[in-house]
Structure 1
Amino acid sequence: MERRNFLKNSFSMAGMAGVSAVPFADKLDLFPAKNNFKLKYAPHFGMFKNLAGDDLIDQLKFMADTGFTALEDNGMMGRTPEMQTKIGETMAKLGMDMGVFVVDKGGNGANTLAAGKKEYIEIFLNGCKRAVDVAKRCNAKFVTVVPGDFERNLPIGVQTGHVIDALRRGAEILEPHGIVMVLEPLSDSPNLFLRTSDQTYEICRGVNSPSCKILFDIYHMQKNEGHIIPHIDWTWSEIGYFQIGDNPGRKEPTTGEINYKNIFKHAYNKCKAENKTFIWGMEHGNFKPGKEGELALIKAYIESDSFEV
């Protein structure tokens, strides 16, 4: 069965709670072609495994047929070189862009960059070097870096200086290859050094490299600072990448308190005025399980992307 027919059959399934069969069948004619979504949303592997199957390449093809034009894969560095290459080649054929993958051991509680210790910095720099090879295989331009935890026996300004120094050295490795490390402030633990968008903005200005920008994860920033649209505006010049997740729950848009339609519209208009584009990583779970949940997720993105321009 052709993937398009499979999608039509899937969207025509009756009896799905909260998902109307007829609107989905109608929408299918609007969004399988590339770039029908106004923004470049990037699902991750496993998000559509019930509809597309377990094979990663089949999942990529499903994403493309559904209208998504990018992918993000936090675990890309853990895949075999052969699979990294295959993913990159498939995305090129499908006209999809590669979003972020995480620089493993790039900075965590065990080797925080805030400590300024040589052995920790070397772990980070080695991660950057290996990330260059992975990025070449899968055509990636963005890698996620988290500096790690606070080093609480040091003044905050000294910790910030240590982080900036380490990131400058990482940028020197990545910049010749056109790769951007995007720094992600997180809400997972109060021990994490990087917490807010303005703090990340300050560090990016200190590093002063096109290869060091902000990963503005809206889910984490809603939890840590709120006031999402003003913070996007204030830090706009240093943002390199966005990630999505509603709060509470970290699921798709429309399942929590964040008005993603307004945020998407605001960013779209700013991008249009400046001729910029961003990848929007769908770093969240599915609100409902199974095929029903995957179809509902697609519906949520259709709804949130339906703002007027």
Structure 2
Amino acid sequence: MKRRDFIQKTALTSGAVTLGGAMAYSAPVQAGAKHNFNLKYAPHFGMFKNLAGDDPIAQLNFMAEQGFTAFEDNGMMGRNVALQTKIGETLARHNMTMGVFVIDKGGNMANTLAAGKKEYVDIFLDGCRKAVDVAKRVNAKWMTVVPGAYERNLPIGIQNANVIEALRRGAEILEPHGLVMVLEPLSDSPDLHLQTSEQTYLICKGVNSPSCKILYDIYHMQKNEGHLIHNMNLTWEEIAYIQIGDNPGRKEPTTGEINYKNIFKYLHEKGFKGVLGMEHGNSRPNKEGDLAVINAYKEVDNFL
């Protein structure tokens, strides 16, 4: 074969392979087939913005098209009423379950309920009242509560009692509406009062209300206590909501050390029908990063 012919043939072949690879890759990036997930995984705004665009309603539509049957939005209380209403209508149209939003009490560390101070409790209760209206607009059931920081000048038992008393009053507001505040132990700071599943279980038992349960965030609990399935078993009757994030890095499953396929199999076998919030970032940028999240969930959801 002449050198010119060889170069031309090689270029054409290489181009065909490159084009074929690009087409094979870009097709699912642009329009992936709808997947039938076994559990209610809930993305959040921004997770698929490279594929769906910046409009929040377009993002919800995209989530539904990919097969996701739930959605969560920590910042829902900060959105205007018109958008909240539109979100609720869109979720209803797609038969998607609304997951958690955060009850506004000034931030995770602020206005700690552990202090037992009236002014802090009043801020929390005001947030509960406002959350009822938001929940009605978006058809939500669960709302995240973080009690706040340690009150270092008080014994831990007194702090726990203060938290329980404040949460009982919050439950009195939420319970008539069938709403549930879910307490989230966190790993973000050693100054946070609530850090383990057993402590959260104790507080829920103390509140003794169907409107006060555990949000078991797998990422935070892997960092704080490990033994994930064991500890979920111990606290199971108080767990109402679960959140996801791999460790280290707090990105999608398969990017860290947590065996999410095994955990999801366990949850499915336990008969968990609730929402699993995808409270993590994307490990990669751009459209490829959005697609990587979708493919990761397809992989770890393949446990049957």
TM-score by length of 1: 0.89
> AA paired with 1:104?
D
Instruction: Return the alpha-carbon distance in structure 2 between the equivalents of residues 146 and 199 of structure 1.
Output: 13
Give me the whole-angstrom Cα distance separating, in 2, the residues matched to 1:155 and 1:130: 32
Q: Percent identity?
A: 70
TM-superposed CA distance for 1:24, in Å, is 5.2
Which runs of at least 4 in structure 1 moved beyond 2 Å after TM superposition? 12-16, 20-25, 27-30, 106-110
1:209 maps to what in 2? 209
Residue 8 of structure 1 corresponds to none
Residue 278 of structure 1: how far off its partner (Å): 1.2
Corresponding residue number in structure 1 for 2:296: 300
Partner of 1:21: 25
Q: Write the letter of the residue equivalent to 1:302.
A: K
Q: Say if 2:33 and 2:66, in contact at 8 Å, map to a contact too.
A: no
Which amino acid in 2 is paired with 1:46? G
Code of the residue aligned with 2:122 in structure 1: it is: E
Q: Give the residue type in structure 1 aligned to 2:190.
A: P
Residue of structure 2 equivalent to 1:5: none
1:287 aligns with 2:291: no
Task: Report how far residue 21 of structure 1 moved.
Answer: 3.4
Structure-to-structure mapping, 1:29-44, within 5 angstroms: 29=33, 31=35, 36-44=36-44
2:25 partner letter: A
> 2 CA distance for matches of 1:126 and 1:119?
11
Q: For residues 203-224 of structure 1, what are the alpha-carbon distances to aligned partners after superposition, in whole Å with 9 as ceiling and x for unaligned? A: 0000000000000000000000
Query: Do the aligned partners of residues 64 and 288 (structure 1) sit closer, same or farther apart at CA in structure 2, a change above 3 Å counting?
Result: same
In structure 2, distance between residues paired with 1:53 and 1:209: 41
The 1-side partners of 2:33 and 2:101 are apart by 32
Correspondence for 1:94:
94
Gaps of 5+ in 1: 1-11
Q: Is the 8 A contact 1:164 1:206 kept in 2?
A: yes
Q: Which residue of the partner structure matches residue 53 of structure 2? A: 53
Q: What is the RMSD of the two structures over their aligned residues, measured on CA atoms?
A: 1.9
1:178: how far off? Answer: 0.7
Which amino acid in 1 is paired with 2:302?
A: S
For the Cα contact (< 8 Å) 2:69–2:96, is it kept in 1? yes
TM-score scaled by length of structure 2 = 0.90
Aligned to 2:273: 277
Give the Cα–Cα distance (whole angstroms) in 2 for the partners of residues 22 and 202 of structure 1: 50
CA, structure 1 residues 124+281, in 2 after alignment: closer, same or farther (shift >3 Å)? same
Q: Distance in 1 between matches of 2:47 and 2:89?
A: 21
Q: Number of aligned pairs?
A: 285
Deviation at 1:107, TM superposition (A): 6.3
Deviation at 1:110, TM superposition (A): 3.0
1:263 aligns with 2:263: yes
- Are 1:77 and 2:81 matched, yes or no? no
The aligned residue for residue 122 of structure 2 is 122
Cα pair distance change 1:107/1:292, threshold 3 Å:
closer
Q: Deviations over 1:246-290 (max 9, x none)?
A: 00000000000000000000010011xxxx411000000000001
- Secondary structure in structure 2 of the residue aligned to 1:104: coil
Matching residue of 1:244? 244
Question: Where does residue 132 of structure 1 map in the other structure?
Answer: 132
Cα displacement (A) at 1:104: 1.0
Separation (CA, whole Å) in 2 of partners of 1:110 and 1:30: 42
Q: Secondary structure at the match of 2:100?
A: strand
TM-aligned CA deviation for residue 105 of structure 1: 1.3
Say which one has the larger Rg. Answer: 2
Q: Decide whether the 8 Å contact of 1:107 with 1:145 is kept in 2.
A: no
Check conservation: 2:72, 2:98, Cα contact below 8 A. yes
Deviations 1:117-138 (A, max 9, x none): 0000000000000000000001
CA distance in 2, matches of 1:67, 1:148: 36
